[in-house]
Chain A
Amino acid sequence: MGFWERLLKIDRKIIFIVMAVLVLFPLLKPLGLGVGSGPRAKAVFDAVDSIPPGKTLLISVDFDPASMPELYPMLVALMRHAFARDVRVLLCGLWITGAGLADKAVTEIAPEYGKEYGRDVVYLGWKAGVDAVILGMGENIKNVFSVDYYGHPLDSLPMMQEVTRLRDIPFMVAISAGTPGFSDWLLYGHSRYGLRVGAGVTAVSAADAYPYLQTGQLTGLLAGMKGAAEYEVLVQRHNYSKAYMPAVAAMDSQSLAHIVILVLVVIGNIAFFVTRKRGR
């Protein structure tokens, strides 16, 4: 078997090792390839930036640990942006497996800005029945969530005296890894209660959100790791945070991973054409 034939039948373990090394390397030693800011991430940023201090940003945590690397940085960056501007944050979720992730964000990010649970941030938790939950929140949040994730009655939380239903919320971001997700918030929250919705999605499902952007139903979009990195950059550029930017750091890895795949595809095709020519 010649060189090119062997290349065509390369052991996939070699591909895995190359990929692992090139993904790990920038995480240990950042390359600083830089991230710009796209118009879609900027639209989400502007929408959060236009919320008056004291008002509330709703974030729906509709993802599970599997998509955490891509979506969790969005949640953190959004919370930092809101807290830095004294905007209150209300969290809820349509995925039961996202409950622990929202709890982690509340317990870790709020103290960074000296924010108090119940006054500046509330996590409602998860409830079964997607449409019923959103429609119910449109009428009265307390009808759906009588207590928050931690078991406190909503009546005992000062923030929830002012936020009683979706109409009290100027903007929301649904961070979704699939269904249920942002499309349900659009279907029930936006169309019925006029809730302005932005979305954060995994890169693979970003194309699904484009039609909603084109029609203006979605205010903005954070697409995958790139969207998260763009948001982190915007938050830092406006001096809302100086914290470590995990998505920006991961973008170096992602860039190299894309390059690895592209190089492999090119090599594979050269080998394919050479062997085909010889075969003739």
Chain B
Amino acid sequence: MRRTLPLAICLIMGIVMMVQFFVPHPISVGFYDLTTKWIRIVSAFALVLGVGSLILYHIDRLQRKRPGWAYSIVTLIALVGTAITGLGWGVKPGAPLQEIIFKNILVPLNASMFAILAFYMASAAYRAFRARTKEAALLLIAAFLVMLGMVPVGAAIWGKLPDVAEWILSVPNMAAKRAILFGVALGAIATSLKVILGIERGWLGGGK
């Protein structure tokens, strides 16, 4: 029963949602809206479980003095502080949640994390871009031309370089991407079908 019920719900809802895609009638649209609302409600409950897990995980780390336990204090203070600010002063423009937490903490922190990419790209490219084989050499040349063509220096070196870069991006690159996307799309449909039919049960923990 523990396994049969979720499988039955999955089968019924999977087929119903597939049929819904082809039916434009308001009853069908209304049903779609209703299910998306259900998803939001279920997500809200799951968030409670998630936050519970977060608190327990960090309290456990503190109690056992695991490596980096001091960061758990920061996490718990941030969690409680944000919740109090949001619940106490609301989320409207001008509220401390927007003015202090969003503008002065979240924005610079997120921008910093994103900016790390510039450094990591350089170190990853240095380590990995080696012409070990003919294919790797080809990839290297293509990357070289695209990187140079995408900045004003490239155009200054040779006026046609931006066009070459554009061509590489929009023709061979796009062809390869589309090939991958075909595989991805068919794989996704096949996986969905396997889940709906109950053949794929890994998400239930596996087993028959």
Q: Which residues of A contact B (CB under 8 A)?
A: 10, 12, 15-16, 19-20, 23, 33-36, 38, 64-69, 97, 100, 103-104, 128-129, 132, 149-151, 203, 206-207, 210-211, 214, 224, 226, 251, 254-255, 257-262, 264-265, 267-269, 272-273
Which chain B positions have C-beta within 8 A of A132?
Answer: 33, 36
Which chain B positions have C-beta within 8 A of A258?
Answer: 147-148, 150-151, 153
Question: Distance (Å) between the CB of B184 and the closest chain A CB?
Answer: 13
A-B contact list, 14 entries, CB within 8 Å: A19-B119, A23-B118, A33-B152, A64-B110, A67-B114, A68-B111, A97-B106, A100-B98, A132-B33, A203-B150, A210-B169, A226-B151, A261-B147, A269-B129
| Cross-chain contact B111 with A15 (CB below 8 angstroms) | no
Question: Distance (Å) between the CB of A125 and the closest chain B CB?
Answer: 9
Question: Distance (Å) between the CB of B198 and the closest chain A CB?
Answer: 29
Going nearest first, the 10 A-B pairs with the smallest beta carbon separation are A65-B107, A66-B114, A255-B151, A12-B123, A66-B110, A65-B110, A264-B126, A33-B152, A265-B129, A16-B119
Chain B, residue nearest A273 (CB)? B131
Which chain B positions have C-beta within 8 A of A65?
Answer: 106-108, 110-111
Interchain Cβ contacts within 8 Å, total number: 118
B108-132 residues with Cβ-Cβ distance < 8 A to A are 108, 110-111, 113-115, 118-119, 121-123, 125-127, 129-132
| Cross-chain contact A15 with B126 (CB below 8 angstroms) | yes
Chain B, residue nearest A100 (CB)? B102
Question: Distance (Å) between the CB of A211 and the closest chain B CB?
Answer: 7
Tell me the interface secondary structure of chain A in the complex.
helix
Question: Distance (Å) between the CB of A149 and the closest chain B CB?
Answer: 6
Question: Distance (Å) between the CB of A48 and the closest chain B CB?
Answer: 23
Question: Distance (Å) between the CB of A16 and the closest chain B CB?
Answer: 5
Q: How far is the CA of A260 from the CA of B174 in the complex (A)?
A: 27
Which chain B positions have C-beta within 8 A of A23?
Answer: 118
| Cross-chain contact B125 with A207 (CB below 8 angstroms) | no
From A10, A68, A128, give the contact of B107 (CB < 8 A).
Answer: A68
